[in-house]
Chains A and B, each alone.
Chain A
Amino acid sequence: MKKLAVIFGVISMLLFIKPVLGLTTSNTNVTTTEVAALNTNTNTSSDDDNFITEAVDGIKQFYAYTGFANAQSGHIIMIIIGIVFIYLGIKFDYEPLLLIPIGTGVIIGNIPFVMGNQTGIYETGSVLNYLYFGVVKGIYPPLIFLGIGAMTDFSSLIANPKLMLLGAAAQIGVFGTFLGALYLGFNLPEAGAIGIIGGADGPTAIFLSSKLANGINILPDGTTVKNLIGPIAIAAYSYMALVPVIQPPIMKLLTTKKERLIKMKPPRAVSQKEKMIFPVAALLLTTFISPSALPLLGMLFFGNLLKESGRTERLAETARTKLIDIVTILLGVTVGASTQADIFITKDSMLIFGLGAISFVIATMGGLLFAKLMNVFLKGDEKINPLIGASGVSAVPDSARVVHAEGLKADPTNYLLMHAMAPNVAGVIGSAIAAGILLSFLA
């Protein structure tokens, strides 16, 4: 209260001495206070009027620039959403590394301001706009993938390569959502960008939407595509954070108690040589099939080679700690800030959120059902626990953790984490390939 009084006092003081300092329209040459006093004495009434109107004008002008004057209901809604994101991140520990930067970004992006002062993220030349450049041009996602590659241990996948197919099965979520978006009236590139939400992979979603639905590309019929990067990224990241909520009911619905009890035999030990060959061989095979996914897959396997080569520990260390942290900070805040209310709150965004939820459901179902299908052909201890199919939706490593937790619920001695990591990382590869395919078809 005291501080408020002091601030108010200072502001009123400043306004009061403004005419004294010769800022009034009349008597511009007057400098001394003496003459100013004389001046005020001679024509008091008119100057008083002047002073008051000017003070009021100044306050009015100041007020016109504040957030209070420019706030619209959209801004308030988005700020509340930002606060909810931060709350979810802190309280429930849902991907706090993503939700807290994004939540803060949402607040930053929705502070109401007057256009034309290079403040907003969509105004050319503003600082936020420069940082957002990395999103729009798809620079950040490959860098994130480099870090992910340097973090990921592919050994469970090398030990049991058939689990790779589960990662492919979950990509039905991508193509199912793509079709859904087409039915809802989105055009092809937009639908492709929306579909990739089903890949459950934030960087891939941003990469693809920055190429397909960036508000710059022109369609064959002459219209420009909509800018959907913000809604798609927010949908992808928020549903990734909600994986622990979305997946368990579907897992329970589609698997029987008996299936959930299946114990898989522990994966064999993988030699360092195999681990070194994996990134090189996988890079060659996947990028020859889907060259458009090169930025993502190239960086992913490059990062992994840095980790496994045993000679570049320093580079791997940087890629998986400092580099990915820096990029995550920039990506989170700018993606959050790109949700400026007037651009974000549209019918399309709502549709995208709906489709996103469906895509996660389809992807999870695809993985689970394909795991059950594989079980038909597998015998004895080769049988897989169908729960791990659910981790074929990337969302590394959350969905693998969810599978592990569900497995423990069914049987407290059944540890599925290592097995679930295999389809999980295969899902990353799969969704990157899917992104490449969509890109080559639609760009």
Chain B
Amino acid sequence: MSIPLSISNIDEGYVILLTGLLIVFSGLLTLTVFFKYGLPFILKFYNGLKPGPKNTNKEITCKVPGNEFTGEVAAAISMGIHLYLDEQHDNENAVLTIKQARKMYSPWSSKIYGAYNNRF
């Protein structure tokens, strides 16, 4: 380290205090910036690479004429959602995974011992 010996412990402490805090902040700031701006960009780019008709989900806006959200509109939307969810069960995931139940061999539960040892 290039810090001369004449600098006391306390002075070095202040140096470490300032640089340390600066590095911690810059480190987490880098992370912040990356996840705030970098990641959405990367994901957008990645989605853009994928083939397919539409990859970007457009945000759904609920524009109501006259800017009023009446009970009728709410009822219409909830009816729509209800009907949609009602149809959901027809499109079930076709992939079935069955967890295999393994039976470990153990002499304690072995049929062989029980079956043969008692023969006369």
- Considering the complex, give the chain B residue whose CB is closest to the CB of A171: B24
Q: Is B13 an interface residue (CB 8 A)?
A: yes
List the 5 closest A-B pairs by CB distance, nearest first: A161-B35, A168-B28, A182-B13, A175-B17, A289-B27
State how many residues of chain A have any CB contact under 8 Å with chain B.
42
B31 touches which of A161, A191, A442 (Cβ 8 Å): A161
A residues less than 8 Å from B32 (CB atoms):
161-162, 164-165
**Do residues B36 and A179 form an inter-chain contact, with CB atoms below 8 A?**
no
**Do residues A429 and B20 form an inter-chain contact, with CB atoms below 8 A?**
no
B residues less than 8 Å from A176 (CB atoms):
17
Q: A165-B25, A429-B31 are in contact. List 16 more A-B contacts (CB 8 A).
A: A157-B35, A161-B33, A161-B36, A164-B28, A179-B10, A188-B9, A188-B12, A188-B13, A271-B43, A273-B43, A289-B27, A426-B28, A430-B27, A434-B20, A434-B24, A437-B19
Interface centre among A176, A179, A183, A285 (most CB of B within 10 A): A285
Known: A161-B36, A175-B20, A281-B34. A182 touches B28 (CB 8 A): no
Q: Is the interface of A mostly helix, strand, loop or mixed?
A: helix
Q: Is B14 an interface residue (CB 8 A)?
A: yes
In the assembled complex, how far is the CB of residue A213 from the closest CB belonging to chain B, in whole angstroms? 15
B residues less than 8 Å from A77 (CB atoms):
none
**Do residues B31 and A282 form an inter-chain contact, with CB atoms below 8 A?**
yes
B14 touches which of A179, A277, A434 (Cβ 8 Å): A179
Q: Is A349 an interface residue (CB 8 A)?
A: no
**Do residues B12 and A433 form an inter-chain contact, with CB atoms below 8 A?**
no
For A241-279 the 0/1 string (1 means CB < 8 A from B) is 000000000000000000000000000000101100110
| A278 to B35 alpha-carbon distance, docked (Å) | 8
Q: Is B55 an interface residue (CB 8 A)?
A: no
A172 touches which of B12, B21, B42 (Cβ 8 Å): B21
Q: Is B77 an interface residue (CB 8 A)?
A: no
Q: Is B73 an interface residue (CB 8 A)?
A: no
In the assembled complex, how far is the CB of residue B14 from the closest CB belonging to chain A, in whole angstroms? 7
B35 touches which of A158, A271, A286, A430 (Cβ 8 Å): A158
Residues of A bordering B, CB below 8 Å: 157-158, 161-162, 164-165, 167-169, 171-172, 174-176, 178-179, 182-183, 187-188, 191-192, 271, 273-274, 277-278, 281-282, 285-286, 289-290, 426, 429-430, 433-434, 437-438, 441-442
**Do residues B13 and A178 form an inter-chain contact, with CB atoms below 8 A?**
yes
CB-defined A-B contacts under 8 Å, sample of 15: A164-B31, A164-B32, A175-B16, A175-B17, A176-B17, A187-B9, A188-B12, A274-B39, A285-B27, A289-B23, A290-B27, A430-B27, A430-B28, A433-B23, A437-B19
In the assembled complex, how far is the CB of residue A126 from the closest CB belonging to chain B, in whole angstroms? 36
**Do residues A285 and B30 form an inter-chain contact, with CB atoms below 8 A?**
yes
Interface centre among A172, A182, A192, A282 (most CB of B within 10 A): A182
B24 touches which of A157, A433, A442 (Cβ 8 Å): A433
In the assembled complex, how far is the CB of residue B28 from the closest CB belonging to chain A, in whole angstroms? 4
In the assembled complex, how far is the CB of residue B8 from the closest CB belonging to chain A, in whole angstroms? 9
**Do residues B42 and A277 form an inter-chain contact, with CB atoms below 8 A?**
yes
Interface centre among B10, B20, B24 (most CB of A within 10 A): B24
A179 touches which of B13, B27, B31, B33 (Cβ 8 Å): B13
A residues less than 8 Å from B43 (CB atoms):
271, 273-274
A residues less than 8 Å from B19 (CB atoms):
437, 441
**Do residues B29 and A165 form an inter-chain contact, with CB atoms below 8 A?**
yes
- Considering the complex, give the chain B residue whose CB is closest to the CB of A277: B39
B residues less than 8 Å from A167 (CB atoms):
28
Q: Is B26 an interface residue (CB 8 A)?
A: yes
B residues less than 8 Å from A161 (CB atoms):
31-36
In the assembled complex, how far is the CB of residue A218 from the closest CB belonging to chain B, in whole angstroms? 16
- Considering the complex, give the chain A residue whose CB is closest to the CB of B46: A273
| A161 to B39 alpha-carbon distance, docked (Å) | 11
| A290 to B28 alpha-carbon distance, docked (Å) | 11
For B58-77 the 0/1 string (1 means CB < 8 A from A) is 00000000000000000000
| A182 to B42 alpha-carbon distance, docked (Å) | 45
| A290 to B24 alpha-carbon distance, docked (Å) | 9
| A167 to B21 alpha-carbon distance, docked (Å) | 12
B residues less than 8 Å from A429 (CB atoms):
28, 31
Known: A273-B43, A289-B27. A179 touches B17 (CB 8 A): yes
B residues less than 8 Å from A430 (CB atoms):
24, 27-28
